[in-house]
Amino acid sequence: MIPELGHFSLVLAFVLSLVQAVVPLVGASRNRAALMAVGRPAAQGQFFFVAFSFACLTWAFISSDFSVQYVALHSNTATPLYYRITGVWGSHEGSLLLWALVLAVWTVAVTVFSRHLPDVFLARVLGVLGCVSVGFLAFLLVTSNPFERLLPGAPEGRDLNPLLQDPGMIIHPPLLYMGYVGFSVAFAFAIAALLSGRMDAAWARWSRPWTTVAWVFLTAGITVGSGWAYYELGWGGWWFWDPVENASFMPWLLGTALIHSLAVTEKRGAFRSWTVLLAIGAFSLSLLGTFLVRSGVITSVHAFATDPKRGLFILFLLVVVIGVSLLLYAWRAPRLSGGGSFAFVSRETALLGNNVLLSVASASVLLGTLYPLFLDALGMGKISVGPPYFEAVFVPLMTPVVVLMMFGPFLRWKGDTLGPALRRVAPAFIASIAIGVGAALAIGHATPRTMLGLALATWVVLASVQQLAARLGERPGASSAVRLRGIPSAWWGMWLAHLGIGVFIIGVTLVGSLNQSLDVKMREGQHAELAGYSFVFRGVQDAAGPNFDAARATLTVSRDGVGIATLQPEKRVYRAQGMPMTEAAIDIGPFRDVYVSLGEQLPDGSWIVSLYYKPFISWIWLGCALMVLGGICAAADRRYRKLAERDAPAVAARQTA
Amino acid sequence: MKPRSKRLVLVGVGVALLVGAVALVLNAFQQNLVFFHTPTEVAAGKAPTGRTFRVGGLVEVGSVQREPDGVTVRFAVTDTAKTIPVSYKGTLPDLFKEGKGAVVQGRLEADGTFRATEVLAKHDENYMPPEAAHAVEQAHKAGATVKQ
């Protein structure tokens, strides 16, 4: 009964999404307040029914209702409760339902936090979001109904893919979806601007916090996914340039360009059509990501759908969204042109340069990801594009981005003279190169890559310090506390996020240069050495988990005779599917991780053990965390709230007039 | 400078930047493509020597052997028509099994052994890497034509 209620509620949500898509847009074009006012309740009603439907599916998982096919395929009575709940989005149908729910959450957030927006504009935004929702709910109902019954019901479920039975997987998909789908708000704002032909600083100011929050979620989601790959896949890699990772990285790159382009549009009124194009691009890449990941064209742990109908449906949706929005863009964008002019040497130029480079980087990832698929689809042979390509492209593209990123803030808006600006940064820049080369020599790894990485990271740190000092020096005479408080939260956001890039580069460079690994055969009492650490194999015991049996090895790690950690990597077999899984054990430290994973047992009773020494890998996560924190600070700037309050009475006055 | 010529310079610099970046991307792309070959193609000498490529098929039953160091593994990949000997040093994926699909990436040595740097198996029990499935399918097709 409950699954049928969930299904019915999904149908009701679909009907409401149709109303939300059509009525406010018609109202906006005819300027009928009554029709425009429909958007808000329709969106909120839709949210209620999607949420109810999601709750019904969750209930089916909690109560192990194996007469629902989706539950029977992805859960089991022995699965722990929290993995039964996360199993809801563990595969295709449920994750699409999560997509729809997240979209509804964002839409409701728009109705709640955008009371200060003009009615016509809000109606258009809700209408566009409604259109996206129509597409996804139709996709769910037509091709991927999660409530499909299995008659007769299965006595026991097949269990969730063991790779997904991990705490990281509890939060990774919701975070990533909040990011992906969050760009739909930026997209809706951009389309609404195209429809109205009006796009000014106020528009950019409304759009900015939404885009930044979506970017924060996407950054956090990608980070958690990377962390999951690091400890769950069992060989210590943190980024594989796997098509599925690329699918989330492309919107991130374009989204990063977008938040910077929006800053220029708000402050200077420039880059308007470029901003709109980026908003369309970022959302299209989010959809493309969903298509790549969910259609089954890419083979990975994420690819669930092998039903070609589903792939075609998303492809169709993608073509409609991109086609319609680009047509609208071609038709309306000329009206948006104009805005502040700027000189060749100015902060705008630095931001434009980085925008172009980030877009090229995004396009290069797109090429590497899609080209093999095209060749395959055309029957022209099978190829793969591996990490060497992406590394060869990313280092030269991102180097100028990082240099410009820290140089740009030293330039004034509109126009500046190059000489004084260069003289200001020259000491830090030269010092960075010297320190980078020196540090690479000091750690005994003087490759060009290491030197470049360390020099760039030093440049980011030194320039950050210099920027902070300059900012604090702006109010001479004031006490340092007053000066600190005088800096707006948005500035701290920029500063932290940029500093995060520096920390991230340190992590990537050092873990790439200095990591060591050893695959070795070990039996009880034997020991192995790696990077100055001594590992003693203490033997293997059987251990049983709720839904798996494991062989659990114990290794003691010491350095110079001092004990450091006892690590217990496992080799698990999940009972329902008989699927083996490696569970690594990691001793995490601020400057290095020691990582051990258990291979297979050999006929003579010894075990293959993989030992890894991963210096500075935590700095990668720390860098990402700083970027997330920076994004939060930027979105929480008082300016947005104050302006919202200031705009509100004006709107109210207009409504009563 | 007049605004007009200033814009020209800006556009020129932008285009130059873009052309440089695109040239870089395409060059890197061409150098790093990894092609896929079936064991039949490798046996026929169609695979490149001295360049990384991929081979897919089934891990031949009874072929998996370990060297005394325990870490180096030798096995054979077959598309049911031809078989390629493979050597690999490192940890095998959890789902690597005799008689199941696998894809190996590496180089062909002069003695005809394929030295793998990477071994990919499937992601779950129901699933076969498409390259491996493709190789077996090709071999079957070829076999069927010969029989006719």
- Alpha carbon of B90: minimum distance to chain A alpha carbons (Å): 6
Last-in-domain residue among A131, A159, A187: A159
Query: CB of A204 within 8 A of CB of A275?
Result: yes
Q: How far apart are CA B71 and CA B65, in angstroms?
A: 10
β strands within A210-262, DSSP E: none
- Name the pTM for this structure: 0.91
* SS3 (DSSP) at A441: helix
Q: Do A406 and A421 belong together in one domain?
A: no
Last-in-domain residue among A390, A410, A430: A410
**What residues contact A427, with CB distance under 8 A and at least 6 apart?**
none
Q: Which residues of A are less than 8 Å from B125 in CB distance?
A: 577-579
Q: Which residues pair with A543 in a beta bridge?
A: A550
Interface test with A, best of B123, B126, B128, B141 (most A CBs within 10 A): B123
Is A300's pLDDT higher than 80? no
Whether residue A7 lies inside any domain: the answer is yes
Residue type, position A512, single letter: G
**What residues contact B138, with CB distance under 8 A and at least 6 apart?**
B38, B40, B79
Q: How far apart are CA A249 and CA A289, in angstroms?
A: 9
Average pLDDT over residues B18-24: 85
Residue type, position A631, single letter: G
Q: Do A155 and A185 belong together in one domain?
A: no
Q: How far apart are CA A583 and CA A570, in angstroms?
A: 5
Q: Do A297 and A364 belong together in one domain?
A: yes
β-pairing, B114-120 vs B83-89, is parallel
Query: CB of A536 within 8 A of CB of A556?
Result: yes
Which helix H or strand E contains A556, and what residues bound it?
A: strand A548-559
- Quote the pLDDT of residue A303: 45
User: Around Cβ A508, how many Cβ atoms within 10 Å?
Assistant: 20
Task: Determine the structural domain holding residue A471 and report its residue range.
Answer: 417-481
- In this prediction, residue A41 has a pLDDT band, given cuts at 50, 70 and 90, of very high
Cα-flanking dihedrals φ and ψ of residue B109, to 5°? -85, 165
- In this prediction, residue A189 has a pLDDT band, given cuts at 50, 70 and 90, of very high
Whether residue A305 lies inside any domain: the answer is yes
| A450: its two tokens | 């290491």
Is B127's pLDDT higher than 60? no
Q: Do A525 and A545 belong together in one domain?
A: yes
- Quote the pLDDT of residue B148: 37
Cα-flanking dihedrals φ and ψ of residue A507, to 5°? -60, -50
Using CB atoms and an 8 Å cut-off, which of residues 229-248 of chain A contact chain B?
Answer: 234-235
Tell me the pLDDT tens digit for each residue of B64-101. Answer: 988 888 889 999 999 888 899 999 988 888 888 888 88
Q: How far apart are CA A225 and CA A301, in angstroms?
A: 12
For B28, the closest of A360, A392, A521 (CB atoms) is A392
Q: Do A541 and A574 belong together in one domain?
A: yes
Q: How far apart are CA A132 and CA A321, in angstroms?
A: 8
Lowest mean pLDDT among A288-292, A437-441, A653-657: A653-657
Is A306's pLDDT higher than 60? no
Which helix H or strand E contains A274, and what residues bound it?
A: helix A272-294
Q: Which residues of A are less than 8 Å from B9 in CB distance?
A: 344
Q: Do A421 and A406 belong together in one domain?
A: no
Whether residue A647 lies inside any domain: the answer is no
Query: CB of A27 within 8 A of CB of A35?
Result: yes
Is A298's pLDDT higher than 90? no
C-alpha A591 chain-centroid distance = 25
Q: Is B19 on the interface with A (CB under 8 A)?
A: no
Q: Do A153 and A10 belong together in one domain?
A: yes
> Contact B29/A371, CB-based, under 8 Å?
yes
- Quote the pLDDT of residue B143: 62
- Nearest alpha carbon to residue A582 among A569, A568, A566, A595: A569
Whether residue A623 lies inside any domain: the answer is no
- Number of helices (H) and strands (E) in chain B: give both, helices first: 3, 7
- Alpha carbon of B92: minimum distance to chain A alpha carbons (Å): 8
Query: CB of A333 within 8 A of CB of A162?
Result: no
Taking CA atoms, A29 is separated from A24, A32, A36, in Å, by 9, 8, 9
* Residue A528: exposure state from Cβ atoms within 10 A (0-12, 13-18, ≥19): middle
| A232: its two tokens | 């769950």
Q: How far apart are CA A333 and CA A217, in angstroms?
A: 29
> Contact A392/B31, CB-based, under 8 Å?
yes
Question: In terms of pLDDT, which residue wins out, A13 or A487?
Answer: A13
- In this prediction, residue A509 has a pLDDT band, given cuts at 50, 70 and 90, of very high
Q: Do A22 and A112 belong together in one domain?
A: yes
Q: Which residues of A are less than 8 Å from B127 in CB distance?
A: 299
Interface test with B, best of A337, A376, A393, A399 (most B CBs within 10 A): A393
User: Around Cβ A394, how many Cβ atoms within 10 Å?
Assistant: 17
Using CB atoms and an 8 Å cut-off, which of residues 41-60 of chain B contact chain A?
Answer: 54
- Quote the pLDDT of residue A336: 76
- Quote the pLDDT of residue A254: 96
Average pLDDT over residues A214-236: 90
- Nearest alpha carbon to residue A588 among A227, A226, A233, A172: A227
Quick one: what percent of chain A has pLDDT higher than 90?
Answer: 63
Radius of gyration from C-alpha coordinates of chain B = 22
- Quote the pLDDT of residue A26: 95
Whether residue A454 lies inside any domain: the answer is yes
Q: How far apart are CA A330 and CA A349, in angstroms?
A: 24
Distance spanning both ends of chain B, measured CA to CA: 78
* Look-up of token digits 């150098």: B31
- Quote the pLDDT of residue A299: 53
Instruction: Give the 3-state DSSP-derived string for A116-161, with helices as H, strands as E and coil as C.
Output: CCCHHHHHHHHHHHHHHHHHHHHHHHHHCCCCCECCCCCCCCCCCC
Q: Do A266 and A216 belong together in one domain?
A: yes
- Quote the pLDDT of residue A307: 64
Is A651's pLDDT higher than 50? no
Q: Do A353 and A476 belong together in one domain?
A: no
* SS3 (DSSP) at A92: helix
Query: Using omega within 30 degrees of 0 as the cis cutoff, is the peptide bond preceding B85 cis?
Result: no
Q: Is the ipTM of this complex over 0.85?
A: no
Average pLDDT over residues A114-140: 93
Q: Do A426 and A405 belong together in one domain?
A: no
Q: Do A542 and A564 belong together in one domain?
A: yes
Counting other chains too, the contacts that A300-305 makes at CB distance below 8 Å and 24 or more residues apart are A300/A242, A300/A243, A300/A244, A300/B123, A301/A161, A301/A163, A301/A164, A301/A244, A301/B123, A301/B124, A302/A244, A303/A244, A304/A91, A304/A92, A304/A95, A305/A92, A305/A144
C-alpha A392 chain-centroid distance = 23
- Quote the pLDDT of residue A231: 85
Whether residue A510 lies inside any domain: the answer is no
Tell me the pLDDT tens digit for each residue of A539-595. Answer: 999 999 888 999 999 999 999 999 999 999 999 998 887 888 889 999 999 999 999
Cα torsion A182, A187, A189, A191 to 10°: value is -160
- Quote the pLDDT of residue A297: 64
Cα-flanking dihedrals φ and ψ of residue B120, to 5°? -115, 135
* Residue A227: exposure state from Cβ atoms within 10 A (0-12, 13-18, ≥19): middle
- Quote the pLDDT of residue A430: 96
Q: How many domains does chain A have?
A: 4
β-pairing, A533-544 vs A527-530, is antiparallel
- Quote the pLDDT of residue A14: 97
- Quote the pLDDT of residue A657: 36
Q: How far apart are CA A289 and CA A463, in angstroms?
A: 35
Whether residue A642 lies inside any domain: the answer is no
Last-in-domain residue among A410, A433, A459: A410
- Quote the pLDDT of residue A301: 44
Is A279's pLDDT higher than 70? yes
Whether residue A506 lies inside any domain: the answer is no
**CATH number of domain containing A6:** 1.20.120
Q: Which residues of B are less than 8 Å from A579 in CB distance?
A: 94-95, 124-125
Q: How far apart are CA A507 and CA B74, in angstroms?
A: 35
Question: In terms of pLDDT, which residue wins out, B96 or A649?
Answer: B96
Q: Which residues of A are less than 8 Å from B132 in CB distance?
A: none
Residue type, position B85, single letter: P
- Quote the pLDDT of residue A314: 80
Query: CB of A193 within 8 A of CB of A336?
Result: yes
- Alpha carbon of B125: minimum distance to chain A alpha carbons (Å): 7
> Contact A343/B6, CB-based, under 8 Å?
yes
- Quote the pLDDT of residue A308: 67
Q: Is B33 on the interface with A (CB under 8 A)?
A: yes
- Nearest alpha carbon to residue A181 among A232, A135, A142, A227: A135
Tell me the pLDDT tens digit for each residue of A391-429. Answer: 999 999 999 999 999 999 999 998 888 889 999 999 999
- Quote the pLDDT of residue A363: 92
